[in-house]
Structures are given as structure tokens and as C-alpha cells.
Amino acid sequence: MVNPAEIDSLKHDLAAEAARLGFAACGIAPAEEDALAAQRLEQWLGDGQHGDMAWMAARAHHRRSPQGLWPDARSVIALGMSYAPAHDPLALAGDGERARISVYAQGKDYHDVVKKALKALARWLVAESTKRGLGEAGVKVFVDTAPVMEKPLGQAAGLGWQGKHTNLVSRDHGSWLFLGAIYTTLGFAPDEAEADHCGTCNACQTACPTDAFPAPYQLDARRCISYLTIELKGPVPLEFRKALGNRIYGCDDCLAVCPWNKFASDAAAMRAFVPRAELVAPKLAELLTLDDTGFRALFSGSPIKRIGRDRFIRNCLYAAGNSGDPGLIGPVDALLADPDPVVADAARWAKAELVHAEPAEEKERRGAEG
């Protein structure tokens, strides 16, 4: 029989080890199914609000609960790693010369950073469990690449609550947490779930440039700029292209306006997520010239590399079309005959937008030169 005092002691030390490894938040959630979370998942998928993310539906039966994915799981160790920015994520709004990259993608790839820390914590847990006579602990680690509902688990473990923008909000770290989880066969006592503290605030709802929230606590991914610039493989629907503005990878608007961010400190952020200088305010003119080799070199070690050169250039072309900068017509022209049809389509759209926004005298000058 497991000694309750020993496993409680291990839980206490686990939190300390998690902090040592760089996690800003740690809590325990039950591994059983959360009926409400499972029902919301089914409704979201049934309404088609996951868009082209077919993998969300394909493994929904595993995603419903930790034990649905791994029947031996008894506890979930939910963890959060801060990437709170030192600068204003909205500072480049409306800047026609510069592109906006979501804060989370300006540093090292969080998949690699968080998973490395999760694996280290899991190894520590296995060793400590054996050392303390609790037997060999089974563990599985997850960060954003498996059918795991990290946000409901994070709320159940007391890390924060799912805000009206559907992301986790922490009273200590605002909306700036990367989430990971360790499923284990150890039966830790669960922590108290966090209550909702959004109140009457609707800042995130009104900040969304594409009206991606049908209602508070509901997200239609098909309208979300993060989905459109990262997950969507084809052309972005015409109705959303102007709303993209100069956002070329992700969107921080609904996160950045959350008032709970005032309690977040960039001092709590992992150093690995400190932005690379060249990704904080990159020039569109330079990004538009990237070929596949240049793209891979610039975004080595970055999550941006995952979408590939073609999708990235597509996004940059939409931003160019929204820039109102006739100086970008040259780089856009060079992409009109791009081998990728989606890139070529984006180039034609951007060219038309830029020519339309061009002053009459400039059009006459270019016409005379042509």
C-alpha cells in the first residue's frame, strides 16, 4: 500500500523540481474524463469550427480524457512555462514597413524547450518514486503535438482558467504560458481547480480583428488569424485578407489586451524565449526575397520553420498588400510567377492592392517608365 505521507512529500518536491527546471506553474489534475470539457470538444468539432485541422477530429476519442489516451494514467501533472514579453506585442500595428510575428514565435521553438524540461522532470519523478519506495512510476510527456486538452487540464490543476478567448489565463502570468503535461501512473492528490475570473470583461472579444469569437469562451478557428496564417494551407479567404494587416505568423491581439497581463513579469519568462532581434520587427521587403534556403536558415530553431517557405511568403504577400507601400511593388512583382500557385495568387492580390493605393502621380511615372 502506498504511504500517503510519502506521495504527498513527493508532490511537494515535484513542484520545487519543476520550478528549478524553468516551469512557472505546476499542478495536479485527475486523469478521469471531465464530462463538460468532453462535451465542449464534441460540440466544437460537430460545428466544424476546427476548420481543416482534421487531426483534431481523427483522435477525438483520445483527446476526451487522459485515460482515453492512456488507460493506466492516474494523475496529470500540468505545467506552465512563461514567455511573458518585455515589449508591447501590439506596438507594430499599422506599420506598413514591418511585419508582425506572434510573441511566442520570436524566440526558440517552444516544442523543443518545453519537451526537454518535461522529459527531465519525468526522469526525476521516476527516479524519486523508486527511491522513496513508491514503485516504478509510468510516465508520458506531452507538449502540443498529441491529443491532449492542455487548457482544461491546466484549469483542473489550478494553473489558471480558460478565459473568454479560450486560452488559459493565470493570475500570476496573464495569458503568457506555454502548457505541457506529464501523465503518470502515480496517484497524486489533485489540486483545486481554478475559478473563472474574467467577470464582465470582454476586451479579448472586441479586440479580435476577424470576429473569431461567436460567443465568450467559444472560438471559430476558421476565422482566427493564428489558424489562417499557420494551419491553413491554401489561400486565405478574401474576406479576411485585409484584416490580417501586417500579421505574418499568428496573432497576439486577444492575449495582449487581457488585463490580467499586468501581473505577468518578463523576469519569469524562460531565457530561451527571449526574442531574436531579427524577428521582433522584420522588414517586409527583406522577407519577401526569401527562397527556401534563406527561409530555413533564418528560421532555424524557430516554430515558424514548420509552416515552410511557401506559406510564409503567402502571409508576407498579404501583409505587403495591406501595407500601402508602393516600394513593395518590386518584390511583389518578383513573386507573380512563383511556382507555388497559392504564392502566385497572393502576389496578384497584393499587386492589385498596392496599385490601387498608389498615388496617381506615381502610377503615371511608372506607366511612363513601362
Other Cβ atoms within 10 Å of 266 Cβ, number: 14
- In the chain, the amino acid numbered 256 is A
Q: Please pick, among 13, 144, 325, 338, the residue that the annotation labels catalytic.
A: 144
Distance CA 123, CA 231 (A): 33
Q: Where are the beta strands (DSSP E) in the chain?
A: 25-30, 75-82, 100-101, 139-142, 161-162, 168-169, 177-184, 247-249
Other Cβ atoms within 10 Å of 363 Cβ, number: 13
- In the chain, the amino acid numbered 351 is K
Cα–Cα distances (Å) from 47 to 50, 194, 244, in that order, read 8, 28, 24
- In the chain, the amino acid numbered 309 is R
144 is catalytic: yes
C-alpha cell at 259: 488585463
Cβ contact 173:24 at 8 Å: yes
Known catalytic residues are 144
